[in-house]
Amino acid sequence: MKFTLEPGTEFIVGLPGILIISLNYLSSGLFIQKAIRVVPRCSRPLDGGFLFFMIKFFGGVFMGIKGKLKNMEENIKDVFKKINNLDELEKLRIKYLGKKGEIADVFSKMGELNAEERPLIGKKTNILKNKIETLILNKKQELEEKVKRDRLKAEKIDVSLPGYKPLIGHKHPISNVVDELKDIFIGLGFSIAEGPEVESEYNNFEALNIPEYHPARDLQDTFYIDDSYLLRTHTSPVQVRTMEKEKPPIRIIAPGRVYRSDELDASHSPIFHQIEGLVIDEEISFSDLKGTIETVVKSLYGENRAIRFRPSYFPFTEPSAEVDVSCIVCNGEGCPLCSYTGWIEVLGSGMVHPNVLKMSGIDPEKYSGYAFGMGLDRIAILKYGIDDIRLFFENDRRFLHQF
Ligand code: PHE
């Protein structure tokens, strides 16, 4: 088919169509696209860029097979470059290699060519077909790789990310002090004993040589469960329980919570903590008490701390002594913490009263012993520089997590 149009020929076309005219100049083997002039029926002139696009797009429709082949050869790589997924690739495969595809179309039109051209174009078409097959294969591999990579990427666990941290608890400063003291005492040959916080009135007072109307009971007023049970006011009833249960030699400590009906303020709490100590054996003397207390207090507060034993009174020890250490803040100079005395009281102690031994079934003629009790809250306050005892009981994580 060969026809010529005079340049400048006008076509009036109706909306929305436009007319594209392709001239296939086959005899020279060159493909020429040429739009003559297209005038839409609407008044707005057609835009040149759009026209060019339409020409390119529909151009192929009117092409002869050589032009079509050449066009495919030139553009095929670009066509494949634009493919982004396997579906598109399959559509393209059908478009080119399918039964009614472009390559099949070229082959079917071989008859239009003359005998000379036929083998040449046939060969070219086969080469192009192979090329397309290779392109498809490569693209397929590339896309499959990409799918795999994307999947692996999506499934990837970033092990460098910190995991979700469960909110774990934190050791209470009082527990730190208890653990430290346990270590010290276990090192000295003590073992750990325990007693209940709800205690009998007998163990808490009576068996410790504090009879019903003894004024010492007033100093340790507490919370009563009923007439004979109360919240223990000190850890000393564990002395009684141990002596009733075990035969000397006894060497125990008993840490625990104790109660008194004190008003709550920065330095007083109705709940606080003590650690009790009890040693019973033959020929235990006050110097054993002194030696042990000195060792413990120095390992707790430092070697250079001055210690003094001050005579005192407890109904369950005789003689009794309270132990002071030189003030942690002022080193004995005098400051508000030590009430300007230079000393801080850290524990009560004494030789176990014969009445106490007797009541618990231990022969005071054969055995003697010493006992002591220290306030753990006081130790923690001094150790960590805490200025309010109430913080120990508020369970505020901001406070607790500092230790
Ligand atoms: N239990 C006494 C108190 O709480 C302390 C103490 C214990 C004193 C053992 C002497 C012997 O005050």
Q: One digit per residue, pLDDT tens: the chain, 403 residues?
A: 344 444 444 444 444 444 444 333 333 333 334 444 554 554 455 555 555 555 444 544 446 788 888 888 888 888 888 888 889 899 989 999 999 988 988 888 888 888 888 888 889 899 999 999 998 999 999 999 998 999 999 988 888 888 888 888 888 999 999 999 999 999 999 999 999 999 999 999 999 999 998 888 888 888 999 999 999 999 999 999 999 999 999 999 999 999 999 888 888 899 999 999 999 999 999 999 999 999 998 888 888 889 999 999 999 999 999 999 988 888 889 888 788 999 989 999 999 999 999 999 999 999 999 999 999 998 998 888 888 899 999 989 899 989 8
Distance 153 CA to ligand 1 centre (A): 68
Inter-residue contact 245 to 183 (CB < 8 Å): no
Instruction: Give the pLDDT confidence score for residue 26 in this predicted structure.
Output: 37
Q: Is any atom of ligand 1 closer than 6 Å to the C-beta of 277?
A: no
CATH superfamily to which 173-400 belongs: Bira Bifunctional Protein; Domain 2 (3.30.930.10)
CA of 375, closest atom in ligand 1: 4
CA of 125 to the centre of ligand 1 (A): 109
The pair of three-digit structure tokens given for residue 215, joined into one six-digit string = 């004024």
Ligand 1 centroid–CA 340 distance in Å is 24
* Strand arrangement, sheet containing 250-259: 191-192, 250-259, 271-281, 368-375, 343-352, 317-326, 307-314
Q: Whose CA is nearest to atom 7 of ligand 1?
A: 373
User: Is residue 173 within 6 Å of ligand 1 at its C-beta?
Assistant: no
pLDDT value of position 300: 87
Start-end ranges of CATH 3.30.930.10 in the chain? 173-400
Nearest residue CA, atom 4 of ligand 1?
234
Ligand 1 binding pocket mutation candidate from 316, 357, 379 (most atoms within 8 A of CB): 316
Which of 205, 231, 236, 276 most suits a substitution to test ligand 1, by most atoms within 8 Å of the C-beta? 236
Measure 172 CA to ligand 1 centroid, in angstroms: 24
Which residues in 114-144 are b (16+ Cβ under 10 Å) and which e?
Answer: eeeeeeebeebbeebbeebeebbeebeeebe
Q: Which atom of ligand 1 is nearest to the CA of 373?
A: 7
Residue 203, ligand 1, Cβ within 6 A:
no
Ligand 1 pocket test: pick from 234, 242, 292 the residue with the most ligand atoms within 8 Å of its Cβ.
Answer: 234
Q: Which phi and psi angles does 161 have, rounded to 5°?
A: -75, 140
Cα of 275 vs centre of ligand 1, distance in Å, is: 9
Whether residue 65 has its Cβ less than 6 Å from ligand 1: no
- The predicted pLDDT at position 363 comes to 97
Residue 278 CA: nearest ligand 1 atom is: 9
Yes or no: say if 214 and 315 are a contact pair by the CB < 8 Å rule.
Answer: yes
204 CB near ligand 1 (under 6 Å): no
* Ligand 1 atom at minimal distance to the Cα of residue 274: 4
Q: Ligand 1 centroid to 147 CA: how many Å?
A: 77
Give pLDDT, residue 248.
Answer: 95
- Hunting for tokens 């009541």 — which residue is that? 359
229 pairs with which residues across the strands?
Answer: 200
Q: How far is the CA of 272 from the centre of ligand 1 (A)?
A: 14
Give the pLDDT of residue 14. Answer: 45
| Residue 83, CA distances (Å) to 90, 91, 100, 120 in order | 10, 10, 21, 30
Q: Is the CB of 222 under 6 A from ligand 1?
A: no
SS3 track for the chain: CCCCCCCCCCEEECCCCCCCCEECCCCCCCCEECCCCEEECCCCCCCHHHHHHHHHHHHHHHCCHHHHHHHHHHHHHHHHHCCCCHHHHHHHHHHHHCCCCHHHHHHHCHHHCCCCHHHHHHHHHHHHHHHHHHHHHHHHHHHHHHHHHHHHHHHCCCCCCCCCCCCCCCCCHHHHHHHHHHHHHHHCCCEECCCCCEEEHHHHCHHHCCCCCCCHHHHCCCCECCCCEEECCCCCHHHHHHHHHCCCCEEEEEEEEEECCCCCCCCCCCEEEEEEEEEEECCCCHHHHHHHHHHHHHHHHCCCCCEEEEEEEECCEEEEEEEEEECCCCCCCCCHHHCCCCEEEEEEEEEECHHHHHHCCCCCCCCEEEEEEEEHHHHHHHHHCCCCHHHHHCCCHHHHCCC
